[in-house]
Amino acid sequence: MILKLIIGALILFSSLNASNVLNVYSHRNYYADKQLFEMFEKETGIKINLTELDSSEVLTEIQSDGEDTDADVLITVDAGRLVYAQYNNLLQPVTSEKLEKIVPSHLRQKKGYWYGLTKRARVIAYNKKKVSPSQLSTYKDLATQKWAKKVVVGKSTEMYNMSLLAALIAYEGEEEITKWAKGIVGNLARSPLEGDTNQIKSISYNRGNLAIINTYYLAKLMNSKKPHEVELTDDIGIFFPDQGKNERGTHINISGMGVVKYSKNKENAIKFMEFMLSSKAQKIYAEASYEYPINETVEPLELLKSWGDFKEDKINMEYLGYYNHKAVEVFKKVKWK
């Protein structure tokens, strides 16, 4: 009898303990994230077990484990990866009035498979000594003859470039955007290098006059503790393209999150996602990670505000994943390395 009571108590304890955890699989290796995880643990008593993997590994790990996965929440960057996870049956839809109220409709999947967490604008960075902002207008203008041998870009394998191209294809079709991509390749000042930081370095070193980058990377360099990295940004300006009356607005991308299909702690997962989009959590993101907050009650960092307000493209992020394969095909056609 005593043995049965002990076994029963152990089972009950195990059950209670299991319900007090959350397993987060993340591609975001940022201090701000860890700070927020600690806050969530203190506020809720729910212990976060964090698994950090790179962008491809985090998806492969969840996919290969199937029903045996430990993962409850997936966090990754780029809408294309979120859509990949959705289309490959790695996520489950969740309903939350809080999430739907906070996250604008174009920054979440309509059935709740994933929600945006932070935003980054994909802008034109330019060397102030070589280019006047009055010369700049749209993404498409970068493919015209006036920018011959003056443009630097990242590699075609980078998800942010795929997503920009996917958005353009969604609007204008594969044929038209193939012409644009071919024009960009023809205007390159040097062969594509990996990472937006390298694009900033290139125009700082006069190896090109302008580049397509995410704002996050410039802000990070400007706030670096290394003086030589800050110096790289001295002559760099930011321009938000496609801001005219009849234009769609500057392309944005997101980091985002979703509940894993075979999560054992769905209720905790939803609590976590609601916390990560709360105003206090989004304020920390805005101040520590140089990203634009999803929660519109939170102001961007002063540095980002100093670059000016801009109209953002309101295309639904799901299109960035839907047209990803078309973007890959276009890159191959035009030999964008």
Q: Is position 101 within any domain?
A: yes
Q: How far apart are CA 110 and CA 105, in angstroms?
A: 7
Q: What's the token pair of residue 241?
A: 């393209």
Structural domain including 258 reads: 21-119+254-306
DSSP 146: G
Number of domains in the chain: 2
Q: What is the pLDDT of residue 228?
A: 92
Give me the mean pLDDT over the 130-143 stretch: 96
Residues 110 and 245 in one domain: no
Q: For residues 168 and 283, state if they share a domain.
A: no
Q: Are residues 326 and 193 both part of a single domain? A: yes
Average pLDDT over residues 49-54: 85
pLDDT tens digits, 261-284: 999 999 999 999 999 999 999 998
Assign residue 64 the CATH number of its domain. Answer: 3.40.190.10
Q: pTM of the prediction?
A: 0.88
In the predicted model, what is the mean pLDDT of residues 34-39?
91
The percent of residues above 70 in pLDDT, for the chain, comes to 94
Assess if residue 7 is contained within a domain. no
- Given this model, what pLDDT does residue 18 score? 53
If asked whether residues 197 and 325 sit together in one domain, one would say yes
Question: Per-residue pLDDT tens for 162-216?
Answer: 999 999 999 999 999 999 999 999 999 999 998 899 999 999 999 999 999 999 8
How many CA atoms does the CB half-sphere of 68 hold within 13 Å? 3
One domain, residues 210 and 114: no
Q: Do 100 and 37 fall into the same domain?
A: yes
Amino acid identity for residue 130 in this structure: K
Does residue 167 belong to any structural domain of this protein? Answer: yes
Q: Domain check: are 89 and 107 in the same one? A: yes
Residues 279, 237 within the same domain: no
pLDDT value at 11 more than 50: no
- What is the maximum span of the chain, computed from C-alpha positions, in angstroms? 87
List, in sequence order, the alpha helices (H) in the chain. 2-18, 31-44, 55-65, 79-87, 97-102, 159-172, 174-186, 196-204, 215-222, 227-231, 266-276, 279-288, 302-306, 318-322, 324-334
Tokens of 22: 């959350």
pLDDT band of 9, cuts 50, 70, 90: very low
Are 105 and 133 part of one and the same domain?
no
Q: Provide the 8-state DSSP code for 296.
A: T
211 assigned to some structural domain: yes
Residues 39-49 have pLDDT tens digits of 999 999 999 99
In a domain, 171, yes or no: yes
Q: Which residues, including other chains, have CB under 8 Å from residue 98's CB and lie 6 or more apart?
A: 274, 277
Q: How far is CA 112 from CA 92, 97, 254, 269, in A?
A: 8, 11, 15, 13
| pLDDT at residue 8 is higher than 50 | no
Q: Are residues 322 and 261 in the same domain?
A: no
Same domain, 263 and 293: yes
Mean pLDDT of the chain: 90
Residues 203 and 322 grouped into a single domain? yes
